[in-house]
Amino acid sequence: MWENEWGISQYPFVGGHEAIGTICRVGDQVKNLKIGQTVGVGWNIESCMHCQSCISGSQQMCNTIQPTIVNHHGGFANKLRAHWGWTIPIPEGVDLARLDH
């Protein structure tokens, strides 16, 4: 993405397709996440959540899938917006500094 190998990058570019952070806001419909909770996201941050692919557990095949760093800034940005379904809670006590080892 940084060197525009796919021909779709937009500059200025903020990379990072996997991220860990702390929730600062949640939408009205979010039930499983709370402000201050540590979470992670992977390559994708959003899908429609109602097509056959999403309902069957193959969300990565959704026609509206939104990758973390395609068409907007990625995980190294100050803030990252993601659908709750693509947001993974990180258990308390996990040493975040060791997650990339």
Q: Which of 4-8, 21-25, 61-65 has the lowest mean pLDDT?
A: 4-8
Q: pLDDT band at residue 100, thresholds of 50, 70 and 90?
A: low
DSSP character for 96?
G
Domains of the chain: 19-91 (3.90.180.10)
pLDDT for 13-61, tens place per residue? 888 888 899 999 999 999 899 999 999 999 899 999 999 999 999 999 9
Task: Give the C-alpha separation, 90 to 28, whole Å.
Answer: 21
Query: Which structure tokens are listed for 90?
Result: 């990180």
What per-residue confidence (pLDDT) applies to 36? 95
> Above pLDDT 70, what percent of the chain?
97
pLDDT for 83-99, tens place per residue? 999 999 999 888 888 76
Beta-carbon contacts of residue 96 (< 8 Å; ≥ 6 apart): 20, 38, 90
Residues 41/23, Cβ–Cβ less than 8 Å: no
25 SS3 class:
coil
Task: Give the C-alpha separation, 66 to 82, whole Å.
Answer: 9
What per-residue confidence (pLDDT) applies to 77? 80
